[in-house]
Amino acid sequence: MSTGVPNRFRRCGLWYPQALQWNARQPHKWIGRTFQVARSGKVAVIGAGFYGSTTAQRLAEYDIFETVVLTDIIEGKPEGLALDMNQSRPIEGFETKVVGQTTGPNGEGYEAIAGSEIVIITAGLPRKPGMSRMDLIETNAKIVRQVSENVARHAPDAVVIVVSNPLDEMTALAQIATQFPKNRVMGQAGMLDTARFTHFVAEELGVPVASVKTLTLGSHGDTMVPVPSACTVDGKPLSELLPAEKIEELVTRTRNGGAEVVALLKTGSAYYAPSAAAARMARAVHEDSGAVMPVCAWVEGEYGISGVYLGVTAELGKEGVKRVVETQLTDSELAALKEAAEAVRAKQADVQHL
Ligand SMILES: NC(=O)c1ccc[n+]([C@@H]2O[C@H](COP(=O)([O-])OP(=O)(O)OC[C@H]3O[C@@H](n4cnc5c(N)ncnc54)[C@H](O)[C@@H]3O)[C@@H](O)[C@H]2O)c1
């Protein structure tokens, strides 16, 4: 067949200019006559529900890992999803292999995650309309504890990213159950909440999301702390572009961003934006990029707060959280952050008994 496309740009009968463009920022090398992306390592996603499966798909499509492992307790579900994802490889043009593994109540099957550099815990129930994240605490604590103990046994060197809700408490519990150093256990919430805030501001002003910079700190719940003073559009302070009441309205919508999706879906909670957030965090760890992201991290002295997992901005790399990066806050934002810390501190202390 003569299409004018050089052989080296063909793969599996398809040629993939899009895949080449999409991968343009990744390390590449020529192998024989084929242009290949350098991929390495293993990342595991525990829980193959909506959040877990979309995260696994995003990680696989990055094409930077050798293997993505997806596990669940529902017999055949992770294997079926992995097979399906692998069959998308020739179309989307990625080589990462997805391995599905059912796990048993006594840790059977966890050998599949051995050697993982990153483990993302998504196992647990999502909210139903009208529920708060805190309503999930007892059920999800049992699940997260059992999963974390198996992660510690089979992937003792991994960086753990927790997403199960209630997020701040489940992150603290995963650290207790794994006994990993606190920098190697973090939670995903701030990336998502910040993305929601950015989206709402961009929609309100009719500007590209890329021109908007926002920030949320605090907890992934009622004491979420959106930080309007750190928000800009094309470098201009948000307060110069929108009246205070409108900013407050967007802040409230951000705080209720998860519930808004839950109410519309009626069963289950959001997963497209959440999975994008967790996958980006895993990528920053894998690439040891030093990217600064809003995450749930252990705070020890920053902002005058100590001894609690809290939503803050942190630099991510191979060792998980390299350091918490403090942001300039107004007095009222700092007070709200301290209030959030006290609210989650009490719950994080209780969680060790669940
Ligand atoms: N942090 C965030 O920003 C954020 C955002 C959205 C959802 N969430 C949370 O993520 C979690 C997952 O959400 P979802 O939409 O994927 O729910 P889901 O119901 O679609 O999937 C959960 C999966 O976990 C599995 N599971 C249960 N116990 C397990 C165990 N012991 N080991 C392995 N797998 C197990 C279930 O079989 C199911 O497939 C929920 O707790 C939800 O509240 C967090």
Q: Is 245 found in the same domain as 151?
A: no
Burial of 255 (0-12, 13-18, 19+ CB in 10 A): buried
pLDDT score of 131? 87
Residues 150 and 216 in one domain: no
C-alpha–C-alpha distance, residues 79 and 77, integer Å: 5
Which ligand 1 atom minimizes the distance to the CA of 146? 31
pLDDT beyond 80 at 32: no
Residue whose pair of structure tokens reads 């499966």 in the numeric block: 53
pLDDT at 354: 85
For residue 18, tell me if it sits in a domain.
Answer: no
Overall domain count for the chain: 2
Are 164 and 195 part of one and the same domain? no
pLDDT at 12 over 80: no
- The answer to whether residue 32 sits within a structural domain is no
Q: Is the CB of 127 under 6 A from ligand 1?
A: yes
> What pLDDT is attached to residue 59?
98
Q: Is 270 in the pocket of ligand 1 (CB under 6 A)?
A: yes
Task: Examine the fold and report which residue of 170, 187, 204 is the final residue of a domain before the chain moves on.
Answer: 187
> Quick check: helix, strand or coil at residue 146?
helix
Q: Is 116 within the bounds of a domain?
A: yes
Q: Does one domain contain both 230 and 164?
A: no
pLDDT of 284: 98
Cβ partners under 8 Å of residue 121, min gap 6: 46, 47, 144, 147, 148, 151, 160, 161, 162, 163, 164, 170, 174
Catalytic residue positions?
220
Asked if 172 and 240 sit in the same domain, the reply is no
Tens digits of residue pLDDT in 249-258:
999 999 999 9
Q: Is residue 303 domain-shared with residue 344, that is, in the same domain? A: yes
| Closest Cα to atom 24 of ligand 1 | 123
141 CA from centroid of ligand 1 (Å): 12
Percentage of the chain with pLDDT > 70? 90
pLDDT of residue 142: 96
Residue 22 has pLDDT above 50, yes or no: no
Tell whether ligand 1 has an atom less than 6 A from the beta carbon of residue 337.
Answer: no
Reported as a single tens digit per residue, the pLDDT across 206-251 is 999 999 999 999 998 889 999 999 999 999 999 999 999 999 999 9
166 Cβ closer than 6 Å to some ligand 1 atom: no
State the average pLDDT over residues 172-198. Answer: 97
Is the pLDDT at 280 greater than 50, yes or no? yes
Q: Which of 153, 187, 221 is the last residue of a domain?
A: 187
pLDDT score at 35: 55
Pocket of ligand 1 contains residue 146 by CB under 6 Å = yes
Nearest CA to ligand 1 atom 8: 164
Q: Give per-residue pLDDT as tens, 48-58.
A: 999 999 999 99
pTM listed for this prediction: 0.91
Q: Which residues pair with 67 in a beta bridge?
A: 42, 97
Q: Which domain holds residue 96?
A: 38-187
Decide if 113 is inside a domain. yes
Q: Is 275 in the pocket of ligand 1 (CB under 6 A)?
A: no
Residue located nearest, by CA, to atom 40 of ligand 1: 126
Q: Is residue 256 part of a domain?
A: yes
To test the pocket of ligand 1, the residue of 71, 108, 140, 165 to mutate (highest count of ligand atoms within 8 Å of its CB) is 165
pLDDT surpassing 60 at residue 11: no
CA of 179 to the centre of ligand 1 (A): 22
Residue 270 in any domain: the answer is yes
The torsion angles phi and psi of 13, rounded to 5 degrees, stand at: 80, -10
Domain boundary among the residues 187, 202, 219 is at 187
Task: Give the closest residue (by CA) to ligand 1 atom 26.
Answer: 123
Q: For ligand 1, atom 23, which residue shows the shortest CA distance?
A: 49
Tokens matching residue 101: 């593994």
Is 163 near ligand 1, meaning CB less than 6 Å away?
yes
Residues 194 and 183 in one domain: no
**Is the pLDDT higher at 204 or at 25?**
204
Q: Could you give the CA distance from residue 240 to residue 291 in angstroms, rounded to a whole number?
A: 28
- Interval 90-148: pLDDT, tens: 999 999 999 999 999 999 999 999 999 999 999 999 988 988 888 999 999 999 999 99
Residue 268 has pLDDT above 50, yes or no: yes
Regarding the beta carbon of 125 and ligand 1, being less than 6 Å apart is answered yes
The mean per-residue pLDDT over the stretch 7-28 comes to: 38
pLDDT band at 36 (very low <50, low <70, confident <90, very high): low
* Helix (H/G/I), strand (E/B), else coil: 56: helix
For range 182-209, the mean pLDDT: 98
- Using alpha carbons, select from 163, 175, 197 the residue that is nearest to residue 280: 163
Give the model's pLDDT for residue 25. Answer: 45
Ligand 1 in contact with 269 (CB < 6 A)? Answer: yes
pLDDT-wise least confident of 32-46, 128-142, 191-205, 307-321: 32-46
CATH number, position 331 = 3.90.110.10
Q: Where does residue 344 rank: exposed (0-12), middle (13-18), buried (19+ CB within 10 A)?
A: buried
Query: Pocket of ligand 1, candidates 46, 50, 51: which has the most ligand atoms within 8 Å of its Cβ, to mutate?
Result: 51
Closest residue CA from atom 35 of ligand 1: 123
Average pLDDT value over all residues in the chain? 91
Residue nearest to atom 18 of ligand 1 (CA): 49
**pLDDT exceeds 50 at position 10:** no
Does the beta carbon of 110 lie inside 6 Å of ligand 1?
Answer: no
Give 14 Cα–ligand 1 centroid separation in angstroms.
Answer: 36
The per-residue pLDDT for 134 is 86
| 68 plus 155 within the same structural domain | yes
Q: By C-alpha distance, which of 104, 60, 96, 103 is closest to 79?
A: 103
